[in-house]
Amino acid sequence: MSSEKKPAWQALQSHFEEIKDEHMRDMFEQDTNRFGHFSLTLNDILFDYSKNRISPKTMDLLLDLARECDVQSWRDRMFDGEAINHTEHRAVLHSALRNRSGKQMFADGENVMPEIRHELERITRLANDIRNRTWRGATNQPITDVVNLGIGGSHLGPMMATEALHPYAIHDLKIHYVNNIDENHINNTLETLNPDTTLFIVASKSFTTQDTMMNAETARSWLLHKIGDSKLLELHMIAVTSNARAAVEFGINEDNIFKMWDWVGGRYSMWSAIGLPIVISIGPENFELLLQGAFEADQHFRNAPLDENIPVIMALLGIWYNNFFNAESIAILPYDQNMHRFPAYLQQADMESNGKAVDRDGKHVNYSTGPILFGEIGIASQHAFYQLLHQGTKLVPADMLAPISNFACIANHHRALMSNVFAQTEALMKGKNQDEVIAELKAEGKDDKEIEFLLPYKLFPGNKPTNTFLFYTLDPKTLGSLIALYEHKIFVQGIIWNLNSFDQWGVELGKKMATDILDELNEGAQVSSHDSSTNGLINYYLKLRTLNPKA
Ligand code: F6P
């Protein structure tokens, strides 16, 4: 049965009519322990969801929806290694990569744990060799710079995590990330590097992605130009892929190819050898803690009752706004500078997973699915787009994330930071009403005429929902837990929308067309086979590129 025909969905629709105009201000006044009723913890992570437009009845109905959509049995089917990615006939087992239980996990009837452990040992060895300077380049110098060449899931996870865990990074080793086919990216990076002391990781599950392969070719030429002998390339180039044959053909030594599996989606792969830059940066022990944190979130997701299950609640709140309030977007707002790539990471995780309009039965859905996810560091955003959150016409539910303490922790900085977290969630919830604005303007000495004029501009409607995550500090374990909570949230929403969250056919069309157009650009003749806009753009490009003989 399609999701919106489920009894709980219908009941939520009627309930929405009852509650849609209620203000959270009043809800907080009516229930003085609203925070106690609507907050949960996982280790030291506090998840406060009390500033949402919900009542106990809303939560009961949302939980009914989760039950009616069989969230629990789908969850078990995922952990049991069933091929729930049905369009690609694949299991979805990123949780196996961080399985610390000592128990077996199966894909296609095969226990995947021995291979996972084996690869983890291999990346641990490699990372240690680089970190303790045993790994030497062609001229016997230690590695000072590691460049990850990858895109999408082979880029965002490692980059987000190495940035987030910057305080745990080894100091005399720099990790660089190149994802863009635009030559500026690799050129700007190589400009600062010495081939003798640089190691490239070609990270591509498929080993066919145009952007990554082109950057890998440029990196290989740059290395060969300096080190000459192609046999020595193995000291400067390694690969992470599930397509070992292509990596060998490219010239990578078999011993330096680290494995990925079909049952790990790119956007869920930072726990595999794709996380190699993280291991090199923060060390194997810290990487194990990252895995441990994710494992503990997996355990929570598997075992906590639905009404105490953080990712389930996160997902249901998202459904509430997306499908009943018709909110189109969600904002991810970390109040931790080191989490500055966290929104970008979640953007791929969420939008590539649930940005779909065809359900598991091949039918076009008639309800809204994955939201537009955007975000930035909270403090910077306050001075940029919070205006729209507070006074715009759109409802943008937001997640705020903040550490109670951090590595450097200078009290005046950190207390000021935290005061902004608390103030923004309160301001978004409460708003400012007419009486408050008038009293404030009077106190400023404004006359009645000026007050009447300014009043509409100074009102804040409030009633803007936020979730707040507070955690003691952003250490590897906490980061692992946070990421896994979001992964499971995305999973639960996919189940409720009856989607396969683990394929990404929507990325194919543009890729294929770009390949065909590249042939035309290489040929250089004026084109007429496209629509008039595309013909016009290509022909304009072809005309003007003659200005630069290199273009
Ligand atoms: O084009 C989208 C995508 O397939 C993502 O799903 C994936 O993370 C990215 O490209 C990179 O793919 P690969 O690791 O195979 O190079």
Q: Report pLDDT digits (tens) over 279-307.
A: 999 999 999 999 999 999 999 999 999 99
Catalytic option among 89, 364, 383, 449: 383
444-480 pLDDT tens trace: 999 999 999 999 999 999 999 999 999 999 999 999 9
**Which pLDDT score, from 0 to 100, does residue 3 have?**
80
- State how far the Cα of 457 lies from the Cα of 66, in Å rounded to an integer: 41
Beta strands 45-48 and 39-42, pairing class: antiparallel
**pTM for the model:** 0.98
Q: Measuring CA to CA, which residue among 92, 89, 71 is closest to residue 81?
A: 92
Q: Exposed/middle/buried for 419, CB within 10 Å: 0-12, 13-18, 19+?
A: exposed
Whether 511 is catalytic is: yes
Burial of 215 (0-12, 13-18, 19+ CB in 10 A): buried
pLDDT given for residue 4 in this prediction: 81
User: CB of 205 closer than 6 A to ligand 1?
Assistant: yes
**Burial group, residue 156, by CB count within 10 angstroms (0-12, 13-18, 19+):** buried
Q: Yes or no: say if 461 and 391 are a contact pair by the CB < 8 Å rule.
A: yes
Band (407; pLDDT cuts 50, 70, 90): confident
For residue 65, the SS3 value is helix
Angle (nearest 5°) at CA 476 between 384 and 345: 40
Cβ-contact 371, 350 below 8 angstroms: yes
- Give residue-wise pLDDT tens across range 83-119: 999 999 999 999 999 999 999 999 989 999 999 999 9
CA of 365 to the centre of ligand 1 (A): 25
Are 426 and 466 a contacting pair, CB within 8 Å? no
3-state secondary structure of 40: strand
- Whether 98 and 271 have beta carbons less than 8 Å apart is answered as yes
The pLDDT > 90 percentage for the chain reads 97
- Indicate which residue of 37, 413, 511, 543 is catalytic: 511
The atom number, within ligand 1, closest to the CA of 209 reads 16
Report which protein residue has its CA nearest ligand 1's atom 16. 204
DSSP 400: E
pLDDT in tens, 485-495: 999 999 999 99
d(CA 219, CA 389): 44
Q: Residue 1 above 80 pLDDT?
A: no
Q: What is the pLDDT of residue 105?
A: 98
pLDDT at 427: 98
Q: What is the arrangement of strands in the sheet containing 45-48, beginning at the earlier edge strand?
A: 39-42, 45-48, 466-471, 398-403, 329-334, 372-375
* DSSP code of residue 149: E
Distance in Å, CA 491 to ligand 1 centroid: 19
Question: Which of 85, 151, 351, 352 to mutate for ligand 1's pocket (most ligand atoms within 8 Å of CB)?
Answer: 151
Q: Percent of the chain having pLDDT more than 70?
A: 100
| Substitution candidate for ligand 1 out of 181, 507, 512 with most atoms within 8 A of CB | 507
Nearest to 328 by CA among 402, 388, 266: 388
Question: pLDDT tens, 369-403?
Answer: 999 999 999 999 999 999 999 999 999 999 999 99
Residue labelled with tokens 């080793």:
173
Q: List CB contacts of 156: < 8 A, sequence separation 6 or more.
A: 267, 341, 344, 345, 348
Question: How confident is the prediction for the chain on average, in pLDDT?
Answer: 97
Tell how far the Cα of 137 is from the centroid of ligand 1, in angstroms.
Answer: 29
Q: Is the pLDDT of residue 34 over 90?
A: yes
Residue 5 has pLDDT above 90, yes or no: no
